[in-house]
Structure 1
Amino acid sequence: MKNKKLLIPALMLLLASCTDDLNQIPLSSATTATFYTQTNDFIQGANAIYNDLRGYPDRQLNLSETRSDNLYAVSEGGVRDWEGINSFHKTISANPYISDAWSANYNGIYRANVLLEQLQTNGAIVTDAVLRNRLQGEARFLRAFFYFDLVRWFGKVPLIDKPVTANEAQNISRSPVADVYALILSDLQFAAANLPDTYAAADRGRPTKWAAKAAQALVHMTRSGPTYDIEGPGLGLSEWSQALTLLNEIIASGRHSFLPSYANIFSYTNENNAEVVFDIQYATGLNPVVGSTFAWLLAPDTWFQANGKAIQGGLQIRPISNDLLRSYAATDTRKAFSIQSGYVFNGVAETQSFFKKYVDLTRVPPNRVDWPINFIVYRYTDILMLKAECILRGATGGTQAEVDAIVNQVRTRAGLTPLTNVTFAQLLEERRKEFAGEGLRWHDLVRSGQVETIINAWVAAEDVQKKMQPFQKNYIIYPIPQAELDVKPGLYTQNAGY
């Protein structure tokens, strides 16, 4: 991966001097004005926003995959940070995974707001109007991306659309989810209108108009999910037709296509392939380090040691649930690619299964936080399957034949026989196997309206160690981090159930 947009000049590191949103103090007006004096400074300002995408894959694996019925991640010894996530503990407001989801997203929003303010006040410095609009489109896409991540994890969040001082931040309460969505959709609509269809090789990884449309479609679908009578991501709006229109535009563009090989989608030698609608790009061997850690996150250290590699930090196994393992047909090629079923270390056989989807053992880097593999956020198969979901949920303009064709295309690639009259339940199950280990499962369950039914049944069957707490609908979202509540007591009210 050659794109180096995650590299941040020393001056821009000032933007990341604090990780607590309420304590963030923006660059002084003098410092900011001094920095933004030429076109390249605005490009660097945009590049800085991408830095807060670096941990996005980890958040999806820690908070979505681990929360879902794909993993039965109770710890084998001691208490790991993921156990409270997996087991629906009430007392997880200080969990570092949750705190990171809040702070990293708000750091990214802050950086986007700084650039947008400078484009508004000093944008004439960028004399190329197309570039100026593109930079604004990038900033607004990323701001929407960060806010969407926050809404899915926390529901109501503070709505901040410009740089603010620490004192100002301490007077900004949480906004209704509908208001946050309004900003998200406004940003994505602007991005779709002003971002290019594609980029030259040097700028791959920046969002295109098709990435903006994909994000917009998923927002409409998420808003269409049920409310569960909580202030979470679902608003029950039934915007399936709006989403379908956007997905059809991506498909009709011809910019992306369905790869015949499942493994090639994730190959280290086939990055930026036709499946990729938007991904987070990483490089390796650079200073500062801009590699990833998500590849090994769900794989145990002893597996790497058993293969002659250094420990990575995955510690113990986060075992794949028996329910997921049993769901794969014997001929399903996705299982062998995505899942490692047992190994031997120091003469002891390990029989539990875990995700190895992103690991190429021939390409383990010297530094465990410097993996080079990109993380695909939106891929073409997902676009197709989201289209099928919209049709099955009542969107106008689609047919059952289209749904069957999409699902059977996916199944044929996986070595499975075709289905007829595919139901929503069958589609959801096919998505579970297709995107296993990619961090989509929890979001799919919530959007489907079936998270309570599926998770309660799964816990009853899977929790043989009796370590999980009963699931309740309040656990669809996470608690506000305790550190945020402590900055100014009374500013935020903790989410119900925690």
Structure 2
Amino acid sequence: MKTKILSSLLILSLGIGFGCDDKLDLPPLGELNSETFYKTVEDFEAASLGPYSTLLNFYFDQNGQGHYNGIEYPSDDTRHGGQGVNNNNDFIWLPNNGDFAWLYSQSYKGIMRANVILNEVPNADMVDQEKARFEAEAKFLRAYFYFLLANNWGNPPLISELTTTLEGAQVGNSQPGEVLNLVETDLIFAKENLPRSWTGTDLGRATAGAAQALLGKVYLYREKYSQAAVELNAVIGSGTYTLLDKFGDNFRESLENNRESLFEIQFTRGDFNTWLPADFGLEGNQNVGHAGTGRAIVFRASCFLGICAPGANGQGYGRMHATKSLQKEFEQGDPRIISTIYRQGDPYFGSSFDSLWSITGATPSKYLMDYISYDQPNAGTNNERVIRLADVFLMAAEAELLGNNNVSKAAEYVNIVRNRADPTGAILAPRSAAISPDAMLKFIMHERRVELAFEGHRYADLVRWHNASIIDIPNDIDFGNPGNQNWNETYLLKPYPQRELDLVQSLSQNPGY
């Protein structure tokens, strides 16, 4: 029943939006509408899943559209598999880029769905505590989408109330800082009103810890380092989260939603996923009720120069390869590399990895070590770990260093992450606190790269460090050619999709496009 209600609700909530597909213009089912639906706790339990469902749309596609092509490709961790040109990876970014447009439109779809809930909660037949919880969930998700938009487009349109007319959707660029101010306000409310944990079918919903960690991340990105340290230290000190004993266990499907994880995107097959992928799975579609990720087929090796990996093209397209610079970034013997990158001789789906399958000699192994294969290549069900405690430790180390000049605390947090990877310290020796702040910052940047590779953080890290004059991307970063030849400061932001510029006359393109 919850699934059927949600399907109807999401169709209703798609009336106005940026870049919505024609196939989503479907008639309402039955007599369900905003006057009869948004009343009870049960109604909002179903409605609140709408923004969560939108998150699935960033990951499902086997061609990598969305998260993989739009977020992973620009970093210096990934190299495209072909010998030709890949616009995203090679920094030939144009307003007609479909991957960027998908990120943009789906983010606004999620915002719209959150705004539906925020619009209806005040008039619901619920006690104030229940209203606050649904408001907090919607605000967390709205903040998540707006943070993505601000990081990638700078000053995107700000729509903080439900839009019900075409005229209301004609919103131009926001003022500098305006979107992130709303993000901060939303997350402060969310951390104060969300529960600490969930159980049963609610597992995976946003928690107070997830909101506080994301708030700390927002402060860090805005160079509000002391404020970031307060929030991130609070998450660490809460006692709710602890590092897993083994680094690689974070990415095993059998260990989803574990004690290190603060927020995950929930992937499952069948109609038992409470985050029902409402935008797809129409009658007759092979993926009815399916909420999968295309990660496996994007990451797994295919063929290079006529030499093919097992399952090539059917189970792996070889789209993403580990750059030489990422391979060199790992210290000799770092145990994390086996759960991050496949290299020559590594166990690989019943065989041994051959470096000749890759243009760089290595492909990503993260999330694939215990991959469960289904009949469709985009049917992977291993959750995306969006925020985990190791990331929080490293963000807190950076915030303590840059906000409080606390080299000792920064070293403590970095060493906690290193010690989990190598408890003996024989391979990854502890970082000394008796070094300069600049040296410690380099250690933090190194640790973030090897700990978080292929988790969607790297290019955003490079951009914020460049903007803060911590690094100079053209001189400090090795994208490989032609990426190094093409990169310039235009690519600190993505181009607004041409379709949005055509539809919204008051929307101005980012400089350089």
TM-score (norm. length: structure 1)? 0.85
2:389 to 368, 380, 387: 380
User: 1:294 aligned to 2:311?
Assistant: no
8 Å contact kept, 1:285–1:370:
no
1:87 is matched with which residue? 90
User: 1:254 aligned to 2:239?
Assistant: yes
1:336 to 338, 348, 351: 338
1:470 to 451, 464, 486: 486
8 Å contact kept, 1:408–1:418:
yes
Structure 1 residue runs without a partner (length 5+): 225-238
Distance 1:142 1:401 in 2: 35
Distance 1:472 1:270 in 2: 41
Give, in angstroms, the shift of residue 298 of structure 1: 2.7
Matches within 5 A, 1:166-315: 166-224=165-223, 239-286=224-271, 287-301=288-302, 306-308=309-311, 311-312=314-315, 315=317
Measured at CA, do residues 26 and 388 of structure 1 come closer, stay the same or move farther in structure 2, by a change above 3 Å? farther
Measured at CA, do residues 487 and 353 of structure 1 come closer, stay the same or move farther in structure 2, by a change above 3 Å? same
1:319 to 318, 321, 340: 321
Give, in angstroms, the shift of residue 8 of structure 1: 6.9
Measured at CA, do residues 297 and 27 of structure 1 come closer, stay the same or move farther in structure 2, by a change above 3 Å? same
2:441 is matched with which residue? 424
8 Å contact kept, 1:52–1:108:
yes
The Cα offsets for residues 269-308 of structure 1, whole Å up to 9 and x where unpaired, read as 1111111011111112334112222344233345998445
Measured at CA, do residues 53 and 347 of structure 1 come closer, stay the same or move farther in structure 2, by a change above 3 Å? closer
2:450 to 433, 444, 461: 433
2:404 is matched with which residue? 395
8 Å contact kept, 1:456–1:471:
no
Distance 2:379 2:164 in 1: 34
2:76 to 69, 72, 79: 69
1:413 to 411, 420, 424: 420
2:6 is matched with which residue? 9
Distance 1:56 1:157 in 2: 19
Measured at CA, do residues 146 and 477 of structure 1 come closer, stay the same or move farther in structure 2, by a change above 3 Å? same
Matched position secondary structure for 1:140: helix
Matched position secondary structure for 1:157: coil
| Partner AA of 2:465 in structure 1 | S
Equivalences, count: 466
Name the % identity.
30
Matched position secondary structure for 2:205: coil
User: 1:445 aligned to 2:462?
Assistant: yes
1:232 is matched with which residue? none
TM-score (norm. length: structure 2)? 0.83
The Cα offsets for residues 415-435 of structure 1, whole Å up to 9 and x where unpaired, read as 312221351012101110000
Structure 2 residue runs without a partner (length 5+): 272-287, 423-427, 434-438
Measured at CA, do residues 100 and 8 of structure 1 come closer, stay the same or move farther in structure 2, by a change above 3 Å? farther
Matches within 5 A, 1:111-126: 111-120=113-122, 122-123=123-124, 125-126=125-126
Alignment RMSD (CA, Å): 3.1
8 Å contact kept, 1:157–1:174:
yes
The Cα offsets for residues 40-71 of structure 1, whole Å up to 9 and x where unpaired, read as 11111101111111134564432332111112
Matched position secondary structure for 2:511: coil
Distance 2:3 2:509 in 1: 34
Measured at CA, do residues 88 and 349 of structure 1 come closer, stay the same or move farther in structure 2, by a change above 3 Å? closer
